[in-house]
Structure 1
């Protein structure tokens, strides 16, 4: 580990340096000594990055709006004072007079595209159409503290400038406040400077148009104070110099209230990021958190996302990635069979884990299987023989505990029944050793046409969005005796925002309401935004037999109605449930 820390050929490992106060020097020395002494008997290691601007340590094409040169060893958001906050945002133009017939010069996005060779135009003032009061409204897409607006005419040609203008700002478009007015412009480029103001919207009103020439505005630039709202730092690929089991990450820094810092990682078997690399892990903001990537792997890359909703910036001093050179299992191939099934068809699957061990591996004591839909375990086999195991099952995972550590080359088969409802259903497997219980290893899976071997792909399209709705017990008896006091409504929502890789995180409004037989509203059970989901098992919707006021309803037949919003006006499903005593 000593050699790794001082390796001058690796910019990630050689980036350790001392900043700020002597106390930090002392803490780093203590940390270094502890690692050096313990490394003789432990396979636990870490990579630490304490500078973010070393040449070759960051991806300049992907790193945006962060500052790492101002204060050595500190990563923070870039100042907004020299950044045009309007560039690339949204703009709207309103004409009080007849606009030009050429739509190419009436597109308001031309004034926020950062290009001096594009513009929007207003026709010269006439007696009947003076054009005063025409305006351009810019949405900064975030609340920013702004203090300066620049108006650049096309050319820049002084004859194309507005002859008089006003600037309004505000947090919404209904309560804009005038912060600047120039009743008689002289300069070619107009600069409006005013007291700092927290705003999202900037409105430039052209009070007077030239009667002789058109008014042509090339760019409107908005500047503020404090920091930019968001930025991203992306490292270059780091080399562990061998396959390792990545553990957790830690960071040293300050994240003031109203700001955020999140971290994501991805790993690969080769130094060039390609389709065989893992996707970016779920963003984590808490230090000492584990993250899910392909393991074991030799190469890793990380990204840090910073954001702020006020005048402060989060700051990152160090990032530490913990890893283990000893693995739970050296080599694994994980596959599921069958891999292609009709959507929303209950099927028994076999998840096969071909595990190859090295003498230094810790071995497998338990397995964690992520289940996109609730699953029922039907059997576990070790090298073709039924295995006696303990298990625990929840809505989103199956956990299997082996009586003895699996440490010899083995084929583990896990059989379970489930109903796939997503376009791609990943049954990700993690292996856990009791020796390093806080550092599981995500098992490997072959990639074929962009689909992992542990993923089930559904075929066909469900005729309905709401599928397999059931209610049980039915009837139920909410009399407080602890037996059938509530009923559970279960169903699947399919085909919403699928596949997510193409559509994104689109959601739809889901409502479940209870009515009596006269149509009188009784209870709203759920009203939320959702994507495709399995409302079964622990995710089922519960009714306790009470109305909106909390009173028990009278015995009788009731109707529960499920509604999901959709592009065709929505889909309803109604069924009955009986309350008895």
Structure 2
């Protein structure tokens, strides 16, 4: 007997396979026709832009390096390229008076050499360097492909696809010819919030180092947290111990505070700078801890206090030293973080898996990496015939290995990696990815649709489901059909295509399985009529077919062509048009009396129930009590989606007659409680079960 959990999350539920189909699908990865495609190194291309304002035209020296290779342009002209990050290359350039447009295209090959670039431009009396967190002379980056050369010279500061850079990562000691006398920052941009340059390799969430965590957050002095140079805080000589406080909204891991002075030139910076300040942090605004203090400031334009990373929600800068005469003018206070970003995603290019132009059946996927507690790693896939028109993304996969459930056969495959963390000092990492595929194809076309596409939630509805198939001469043929169901059904009729016969059918609360008497190899439509109930707001009647003798398994696609009668697009999706019934129903122990004596007959009871009218997974508890109401056994606690949880396919509460200590209970009556916990209320049901010996 197999016990499985029903999952009806809505638009993209994973489609559970019948045991026979599941075994066949995993077996196909070991056949002679099976192939695998492996990736253990990723690639990103990032475009960088900066505008240099030169007071006079003249010669200058451009110096830069990047991980792992770059091509650099000035005013639309190619200056040079290099693929060795360990050398700081030099290029003599000619600057125009006023605006000069610097552009760099960087390709990171995922070799663990870091992320980003460092740039220095030196002229006779002025220099420019790569920097982040500035209020003027911004550096920008984009991860969007730049199809023409326009990106090299156009103003990108107001484009949504371009962002300001953050701190990057390069091993300065490993770069020859970098004296760092100009104190240039390593800068970077991370498409999708994913870093592929970490020394450990693989894909990981980007660092938040260099990101201003206080930007536009609640403060008693919002003018110094707004990211604007022309607003600020004027500090009078009498304002010793004045405070600028910011609420970071959540506990964040912070490690540096920067104070930027208002001014248009060096003289104004000197005149307007603070003389000294302290930084304090708190989690409740009552107890404050000082993490750094600065006196006798000599760097008037920008100062910083770095400290050991600390978790805090609130931060304040306190004026610790003032000039006796001059007012200080603070343009901006930046709070820089440590740790990693809370979420990110990586999307691969279209993949032909080394078999260009050929149709493929994508069978399974395996991956390796790390998923620490408090983090999540999920993979999604989609398929295409031409690399431009794609299917919907599959449901996220969190456990390796997993079956690939995308429309097939197709020429191209694409994947998306989704990463999340609830802790800022740890995140998931993906080290390798293997896709199993085969040229064994049961059918060239498999697509399904259902009628009606609207139903009252919880009410019995007559559905008609059609599965259309077409074949090429070398296709294997189809012997088994598997259709996902929203609930237990009453099967009324199956109409096979002409010349085909049904050998066997099996229906559960999650799926309908059909076995044909002979392999299906001619174009036609299989029609099924059945009564069932919609239990979630949306359900998709996904389907799979399998070749002869449990051969290759193929995922169907949705038929979205217009219906010839109504003109409306077809669909395999049914959505709720109304509501009938309760959230928690049909609670019962099966059998109601059982004898856990080890003879293999009625040794256990399954606590069945139905969840409806919930669009997101909710917490469910299944517990056993004695007739006095005392706890006996906590059977289950976890999040469940809408569905019928019935034996033998999907019961989370299975009682073997033992208590929480593992001891068999005595004979008698016991109470079963199933409780559904919602955000604002709860529903529970009590039933009686008998233990007999």
TM band (smaller chain) = 0.5 to 0.7
Residue among 369, 376, 380 paired with 1:264: 380
Task: Give secondary structure in 2 for the equivalent of 1:282.
Answer: coil
Query: More deviation in 540-549 or 446-455?
Result: 446-455
Conserved 8 A contact 1:125-1:209? no
Question: Counterparts of 2:508 and 2:275 in 1: how far apart (Å)?
Answer: 66
Question: Counterparts of 1:508 and 1:452 in 2: how far apart (Å)?
Answer: 31
Shift of 1:213: 7.3
Could you say which residue in structure 1 is the equivalent of 2:391? 277
Question: Counterparts of 2:396 and 2:255 in 1: how far apart (Å)?
Answer: 37
Conserved 8 A contact 2:486-2:533? no
Question: Counterparts of 1:411 and 1:543 in 2: how far apart (Å)?
Answer: 44
1:527-577 CA-partner distances (Å, limit 9, x unpaired): 333343432223332334444445555555444333222344322333444
Residue among 344, 348, 360 paired with 1:245: 360
Task: Give secondary structure in 2 for the equivalent of 1:412.
Answer: strand
2:256 counterpart of 1:148 = yes
Conserved 8 A contact 1:493-1:532? yes
2:336 counterpart of 1:345 = no
Could you say which residue in structure 2 is the equivalent of 1:204? 315
Task: Give secondary structure in 2 for the equivalent of 1:181.
Answer: strand
Count of matched residue pairs: 502
Conserved 8 A contact 1:124-1:210? no
1:261-291 CA-partner distances (Å, limit 9, x unpaired): 7543222456545xx732245346747x542
Task: Give secondary structure in 2 for the equivalent of 1:358.
Answer: coil
CA distance change for structure 1 residues 155 and 385 in 2, over 3 Å: closer, same or farther? farther
Q: How does 1:456-475 map to 2 (within 5 A)?
A: 456-475=574-593
Could you say which residue in structure 1 is the equivalent of 2:620? 510
Question: Counterparts of 1:125 and 1:468 in 2: how far apart (Å)?
Answer: 75
Shift of 1:466: 1.0
2:642 counterpart of 1:532 = yes
Conserved 8 A contact 1:343-1:459? yes
Q: How does 1:211-360 map to 2 (within 5 A)?
A: 218-224=332-338, 231-237=344-350, 244-248=359-363, 255=369, 263-268=379-384, 271-273=387-389, 277-283=391-397, 286=400, 290-305=403-418, 314=429, 327-347=441-461, 349-360=463-474
Could you say which residue in structure 1 is the equivalent of 2:684? 572
Question: Counterparts of 1:78 and 1:520 in 2: how far apart (Å)?
Answer: 47
Conserved 8 A contact 2:41-2:202? no
2:191 counterpart of 1:63 = yes
Question: Counterparts of 1:66 and 1:512 in 2: how far apart (Å)?
Answer: 40
CA distance change for structure 1 residues 386 and 355 in 2, over 3 Å: closer, same or farther? closer
Task: Point out where structure 2 has 5 or more consecutive residues left out of the alignment.
Answer: 1-31, 48-106, 108-142, 146-160, 162-189, 563-567
Shift of 1:359: 1.0
Could you say which residue in structure 2 is the equivalent of 1:23? none
Residue among 52, 56, 72 paired with 2:43: 52
CA RMSD of aligned residues (A): 5.1
Could you say which residue in structure 2 is the equivalent of 1:182? 294
Query: More deviation in 399-408 or 548-557?
Result: 548-557
Conserved 8 A contact 1:167-1:202? no
Question: Counterparts of 2:386 and 2:347 in 1: how far apart (Å)?
Answer: 18
Task: Give secondary structure in 2 for the equivalent of 1:539.
Answer: coil
CA distance change for structure 1 residues 59 and 141 in 2, over 3 Å: closer, same or farther? farther
Conserved 8 A contact 2:33-2:439? no
TM-score, length-normalised on structure 2?
0.58
Shift of 1:338: 4.3
Conserved 8 A contact 2:205-2:419? no
Question: Counterparts of 1:515 and 1:45 in 2: how far apart (Å)?
Answer: 52
Shift of 1:191: 0.5
CA distance change for structure 1 residues 462 and 161 in 2, over 3 Å: closer, same or farther? farther
1:69-109 CA-partner distances (Å, limit 9, x unpaired): 899xx865587486416277x9665xxxxx57xxxx39xxx
Question: Counterparts of 1:472 and 1:78 in 2: how far apart (Å)?
Answer: 47
Could you say which residue in structure 2 is the equivalent of 1:382? 496
TM-score, length-normalised on structure 1?
0.67
CA distance change for structure 1 residues 511 and 77 in 2, over 3 Å: closer, same or farther? closer
Question: Counterparts of 1:120 and 1:385 in 2: how far apart (Å)?
Answer: 82
Conserved 8 A contact 1:517-1:557? yes
Q: How does 1:401-440 map to 2 (within 5 A)?
A: 401-414=515-528, 418-434=532-548, 437=551, 439-440=552-553
Task: Point out where structure 1 has 5 or more consecutive residues left out of the alignment.
Answer: 1-40, 94-98, 499-505
Q: How does 1:125-144 map to 2 (within 5 A)?
A: 135-138=245-248
Conserved 8 A contact 2:506-2:513? yes
Higher normalized contact order (CA 8 Å, seq sep 6+, divided by chain length): 2
Conserved 8 A contact 1:164-1:207? yes
